[in-house]
Amino acid sequence: MASLPLLTRRATLGTGAALLATPALAQGGAPIKVGLVAVQTGPQAALGTQLRDGWTLGLRQLNNQLGGRPVETLVIDDELRPDVAVTKVRAALERDRVDFVVGVVFSNILQAIMRPVTEANTFLISTNAGPSTFAGRGCNPYFFTTSYNNDQVHSVMGQAAQDEGYRRVFLMTPNYQAGRDAMAGFKSRFRGEVVDEIYVPLNQLDFSAELARIASARPDAVFTFMPGGLGVNLVRQYRQAGLANIPFLSTFTVDEATLPAQGEAALGFFAGANWAPNMDNEPNKRFVREFEAAFNYVPATYAAQSYDAANLLNSAVRRVNGNLSDKNALRQAIEAADFQSVRGPFRFGTNHYPVQDFWLCRVARRPDGKFQTETVRRVLEANVDPWAGECRMPARL
């Protein structure tokens, strides 16, 4: 281990001597190539940036090596368009011969690149998108995720509402598949009365009509899933309308990616998550400290899960001694998940989705004036997603 930094420095010199030294370090000599799929254009680019920066920090701490082999990361901007994602990922697989594909913020992009990647016998590690399609019958030995299954996060809030003793809850989500899934996920664990459900268009700007309905229904709590700019608008308008005395339960609505724009308006609002920046364990403290020092903003789950993915792959490549050709051995090495996650306990279920704790989090202001979500209490412990039972994972590739 002690010789690694020296070799890195020499390798980065790019001289003939350094090139000669590399084969001695690991089999094959050539760097491991990783395609990092992260949206960099359009309104959701902030999430892709979080994801990319988490991965970058993970690698930086590993001296830009995975299991002792140097790494070359190709950042692939999917532009949030499935056809673009497929074209670019195919090029990365066929022309650049990437060894892993990592990343992906949105489920529709993941659905598009799933077959091209796994049919090329390449491991795909999602660091955010976690649709149920690949958790159940559609599970795949080449596919892993370091995030969650979407349904779990929504059901956390259902359980939390149940635990808090709320009897009447008002639901509001955008009118598309993920919005309907959010309502279903919430209702899977909430036993009380759903006062009303509102579906809003994905391009909604002004929520005043909906806020008036919430006020007139007088629920015990509101549950919502409003990603990105939708959430920024809703949270600020909710506060301005004087509704903040009604508990605001949410998923993917108040997180570190949107909090800079929501600021004080989001104080005290609740979110369900598998991780929060204040988690009290050594790997996480180091992650948050060094992330903020490097990028000057507070990391969100997108960054944390990508950081975990870098450490996961590092552990797997080390386990197989840098030999990526034996896919079965590599698969077992990834399944072992022999790394320290920033969220504490972490292991993969049979469907390659994490089995992990889920938390009720609340938005708080830190002493330095920045906003972050902080854990309130553990809601679900070592939770297995509801689809795992349907997965028939082949024993060998």
Partner 1 sequence: MNTTLLLVQALNGLQFGVLLFLVAAGLTLVFGVMDFINLAHGVQYMVGAYLGAALAAMTGSFWLGLLLALPAALVFGLLLEWLVFRHLYARDHLSQVLATFGVILFLNEGVKAVFGAAPLQMPVPEALSGGVPIMEGLLYPTYRLAILAAGLLSAGLLWFLVERTRAGMLVRAGASNAPMLGALGVDVNRLFMLVFGFGAMLAGFAGVMAAPILSVEPGMGDNLLILAFVVIVIGGIGSVRGAFIAALLVGLVETIGRAMLPDLMRLMLDPSAARQTGAALASMLVYVVMAVILAVRPAGLFPVRR
Residues binding partner 1 (CB under 8 A): 41-46, 48-49, 175, 180, 197-201, 203, 205-206, 208-213, 215-216, 218, 228-229, 232-233, 236-237, 240-243, 246, 257-258, 260-263, 297
| Residues 102, 78: Cα–Cα separation, whole Å | 12
CA proximity to 30, closest of 56, 73, 4, 69: 69
Q: In this complex, which beta carbon is closest to partner 1, that of residue 356 or of residue 372?
A: 372
CA proximity to 61, closest of 281, 257, 293: 293
C-beta neighbour count of 85 within 10 angstroms: 25
Q: In this complex, which beta carbon is closest to partner 1, that of residue 175 or of residue 328?
A: 175
Q: In this complex, which beta carbon is closest to partner 1, that of residue 237 or of residue 350?
A: 237
Q: How far is the CB of 253 from partner 1 (least distance, A)?
A: 12
For the chain, give percent helix, strand, coil, nearest 5.
40, 20, 35
| Residues 182, 151: Cα–Cα separation, whole Å | 7
| Residues 97, 104: Cα–Cα separation, whole Å | 19
Q: In this complex, which beta carbon is closest to partner 1, that of residue 43 or of residue 389?
A: 43
Q: How far is the CB of 250 from partner 1 (least distance, A)?
A: 15
Query: What are 108's two structure tokens?
Result: 């529709």
Amino acid occupying residue 172? M
Q: How far is the CB of 216 from partner 1 (least distance, A)?
A: 5
Q: In this complex, which beta carbon is closest to partner 1, that of residue 153 or of residue 298?
A: 298
Q: In this complex, which beta carbon is closest to partner 1, that of residue 33 or of residue 236?
A: 236
Specify whether the CB–CB gap between 77 and 83 falls below 8 A: no
Q: What is the DSSP string of 253-278?
A: SSSTTTHHHHGGGGTT-EEEES--TT
Q: In this complex, which beta carbon is closest to partner 1, that of residue 125 or of residue 200?
A: 200
- Contacts made by residues 211-218, CB under 8 angstroms, sequence distance 24+: 211/237, 211/238, 211/241, 211/243, 214/170, 214/172, 214/243, 214/246, 215/241, 215/243, 217/168, 217/170, 218/246
Query: What are 90's two structure tokens?
Result: 């195919």
Q: How far is the CB of 230 from partner 1 (least distance, A)?
A: 8
Q: In this complex, which beta carbon is closest to partner 1, that of residue 161 or of residue 298?
A: 298
Q: How far is the CB of 198 from partner 1 (least distance, A)?
A: 7
Q: How far is the CB of 348 from partner 1 (least distance, A)?
A: 32
Q: How far is the CB of 201 from partner 1 (least distance, A)?
A: 4
Q: In this complex, which beta carbon is closest to partner 1, that of residue 27 or of residue 175?
A: 175
Query: What are 314's two structure tokens?
Result: 């590092």
CB-count burial class (<10 Å; 0-12, 13-18, 19+) for 320 = buried
CA proximity to 148, closest of 259, 305, 372, 316: 305
| Residues 232, 249: Cα–Cα separation, whole Å | 15
| Residues 292, 233: Cα–Cα separation, whole Å | 26
Q: How far is the CB of 49 from partner 1 (least distance, A)?
A: 6
Q: How far is the CB of 241 from partner 1 (least distance, A)?
A: 6
